[in-house]
Amino acid sequence: MRKLLYIMLIVLATTNSYAQGCSDAGICSIGNNFSASGKVLKNNVEFSVIFGKGEGDVSYFSNYISYTRKINDKISWSSKVTFSSASGSFGKRSAFGDAFLIGKYTFAAKDNKQWSILLGSKIPFTTSNLKINGFSLPLDYQSSLGTFDLLLATNFKYKKWDFNSAIQIPVFNNNKNSYFEEFSGTDDFLSTNLFERKSDALFRATYSINTKNQKFTFKPNVLFIYHLSEDSFENIYGKRENIIGSEGLTINGNLISTPVGCN
Amino acid sequence: MKKLLLLPILFLLCSCEEQGELTKDRFNVTPATQDASLKYHGIFVPTSGISVTGEARIYLENNQYKVQLEGFSISEGPDLKVYLSKAATPSDFVSLGNLTSATVYTIPQGINILDYSYVLIHCQEYNHLFAVSKLIQN
């Protein structure tokens, strides 16, 4: 690697990544790989550690490693692999989650304004049916939702502002989760047996602030996620049920800091 | 660069499962006692390529129906469930949960036991039926 940027992203006050509206690392982080450091390099490797709190007493580390390559001034692509570890009353479960492949086309900048478009896919490594000791686990403990997704996004950059809009569409559902609230011994989690996820739409506004010594970039941002319709699951009678309240808007606030080093 | 190559290995090392209070020795449905009344029973018959032994018995105890598997063993499967079913195929059923080392499964209250004539062992993940027990009234 001629130029390799190694970044550890520490996300503070991060989103509740498994909450309503934010299905996983997909739509919530789309576009980050292309612009996290603020520097434009031909090859870029990132390793991210995100700590979050889920439903009930679940806490998790959601990590990813990604590689981004800039082909030329207009075209770049990024691949990413996620890994997560969740802990709580059910125990601890860690596994690889999803692989992402995203391509980006950037239009020429004009008057400090620049548009780009992204097209990508998400491929799950699991069927969202990880178990502990033979017990089925709720989605908070699953490293992936088990869906093959299409990701479409646009980005508009104006001076220090970044605006993203995106949509994540599950095109093939391979979710085989078998968690039933009835058999679990807790009512902290809803049943998600054979869960079916619906699409998400996202809008994010980010403002970049560089420290005076140029060693850190802070990116406060606000994220609006609209879950376009209600998710569903199959109940103990084999009948499909909608999850009431799973449709709707979620608003998240994030602060991303990026200490940057080169080797 | 070498440090970066270590990262995926670190991920793999972290790949694990540890049981918690809700996944530890909680197969706590007690087997039928001498006071229980045996209502139905049926020997398991395997589907193609599967081997199974034993039978399903339905007991009534303290106003609670239970399915108990007796002398039961079956071929390994990735996501086996126990169903109380109206037919010999998993089309109209009540799921009683994962097939585990437990041998007793509670039938939910409100279920009319007369409507259900079969106990099925079914792999949900691959939608493959493993074994069928046709219940006979005792």
A28 pLDDT band, cuts 50/70/90, is low
Q: What is the reported pLDDT for B98? A: 93
CA-nearest residue of chain A to B22? Answer: A90
A19 pLDDT band, cuts 50/70/90, is very low
Q: What is the reported pLDDT for A2? A: 43
In chain B, which residues have pLDDT < 70?
1-15, 25-29
Dihedral angle, C-alpha A63, A32, A207, A114, nearest 10 °: 180
Considering the entire predicted model, what is its pTM? Answer: 0.83
Q: What is the reported pLDDT for B9? A: 58
Are B22 and A6 a contacting pair at CB < 8 A?
no
Cβ atoms of residues B85 and B133 within 8 Å: no
Q: What is the reported pLDDT for A261? A: 47
Q: Which two tokens stand for residue A116?
A: 């780009």
Who among A65, A176, A237 is closest to B7 (CB)?
A65
CA-nearest residue of chain B to A58? Answer: B20
Q: What is the reported pLDDT for B114? A: 94
Q: Which residues of A touch B101 (CB under 8 A)?
A: 134
The share of chain A scoring above pLDDT 70, in percent, equals 83
Q: Tens digits of per-residue pLDDT, A221-259?
A: 899 999 999 999 999 999 999 999 999 998 988 887 776
User: Can you tell me which residue has the tokens 């603020």?
Assistant: A38
User: Can you tell me which residue has the tokens 């709720």?
Assistant: A138
Q: What is the reported pLDDT for B24? A: 83
For testing contact with chain B, the best of A236, A240, A263 (most B CBs within 10 A): A236
A194 pLDDT band, cuts 50/70/90, is very high
Who among A4, A127, A238 is closest to B125 (CB)?
A127
Q: What is the reported pLDDT for B103? A: 80
Between residues A175 and B19, which one has the greater pLDDT?
A175
A6 pLDDT band, cuts 50/70/90, is very low
Between residues A65 and B13, which one has the greater pLDDT?
A65
Neighbours of B35 (CB within 10 A): 8
Between residues B5 and A146, which one has the greater pLDDT?
A146
| Nearest alpha-carbon partner for A61 in A81, A80, A85 | A85
Cβ atoms of residues A6 and A45 within 8 Å: yes
Is residue A31 scored above 70 in pLDDT? no
Dihedral angle, C-alpha A258, B8, A51, A176, nearest 10 °: 130
Q: Which two tokens stand for residue A65?
A: 């490693």
Are A183 and B23 a contacting pair at CB < 8 A?
no
CB-based contacts of B5, cutoff 8 Å, min separation 6 = none
Who among B14, B26, B94 is closest to A185 (CB)?
B26
Taken in order of first residue, the domains within chain B and their CATH numbers are 36-137 (2.60.40)
Query: ipTM surpassing 0.85, yes or no?
Result: yes
Q: Does B115 touch chain A (CB under 8 A)?
A: no
Burial group, residue B4, by CB count within 10 angstroms (0-12, 13-18, 19+): middle
Is residue A15 scored above 60 in pLDDT? no
Please give the average per-residue pLDDT across A8-25, as a whole number.
41
Cβ atoms of residues A144 and A98 within 8 Å: yes
Q: What is the reported pLDDT for A165? A: 95
Cβ atoms of residues A30 and A82 within 8 Å: no
Per the prediction, chain A carries an average pLDDT of 85
| Nearest alpha-carbon partner for B76 in B45, B53, B51 | B51
Is residue A44 scored above 50 in pLDDT? yes
Are A132 and B94 a contacting pair at CB < 8 A?
no
Going from the C-alpha of A249 to that of each of A37, A242, B133, the distances in angstroms are 29, 17, 48
Who among A45, A90, A178 is closest to B22 (CB)?
A90
Please give the average per-residue pLDDT across A93-100, as a whole number.
94
Q: What is the reported pLDDT for A105? A: 96
